[in-house]
């Protein structure tokens, strides 16, 4: 795939998802409808992630992207979420672990 990095991981089916208070705080700061839309998208993403073999298997509607290309102790990524996919929900995947953490959400500024 050109322009898109695919990361192959072990079995994703056992991945457990958690939320940090920073994610909850930002979600609670949004309008109720916006917050519910973002949570709906993150809740739909979790089983899709667990059922995928690699990042390229994820439905394109999430537009799953990684921040940076460098290797490190974790991967920091986001999905597009909320009304008209105008928000980003940020997730951290610690390397070598079957855990993922929703850490932040924000509205994508218009160009």
Is 5 within the bounds of a domain? no
Average pLDDT per consecutive 10 residues, the chain (111 residues; last block may be shorter): 48 94 97 97 97 93 90 92 96 93 92 60
pLDDT value of residue 18 = 98
Identify the pLDDT of residue 57.
Answer: 93
What does the pLDDT read at residue 10? 55
Q: Flag whether 6 is in a domain.
A: no
CATH number at 33 reads 3.30.2310.20
Enclosing domain of residue 101 = 16-107
- Answer yes or no: is 3 within a domain: no
| Among 77, 89, 72, 74, CA closest to 5 | 77
Q: How many domains does the chain have?
A: 1
Decide: 21 and 69 in contact? Cβ < 8 Å: no
Mean pLDDT, all residues of the chain: 90
pLDDT digits (tens, 9 = 90+) for 62-80: 999 999 877 789 999 999 9
């Amino acid at each position: 795939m050109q322009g898109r990095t695919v990361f192959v991981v072990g079995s994703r089916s056992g991945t457990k998802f958690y939320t940090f208070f920073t994610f909850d705080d930002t979600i609670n700061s949004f309008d109720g409808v916006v917050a519910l839309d973002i949570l709906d998208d993150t809740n739909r993403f979790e089983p899709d992630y667990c059922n995928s073999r690699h990042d390229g298997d994820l439905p394109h509607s999430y537009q799953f992207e990684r921040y940076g290309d460098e290797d490190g102790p974790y991967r920091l990524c986001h999905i597009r979420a909320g009304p008209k996919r105008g928000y980003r929900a940020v997730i951290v995947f610690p390397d070598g672990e079957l855990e993922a953490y929703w850490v932040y959400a924000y509205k994508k500024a218009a160009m």
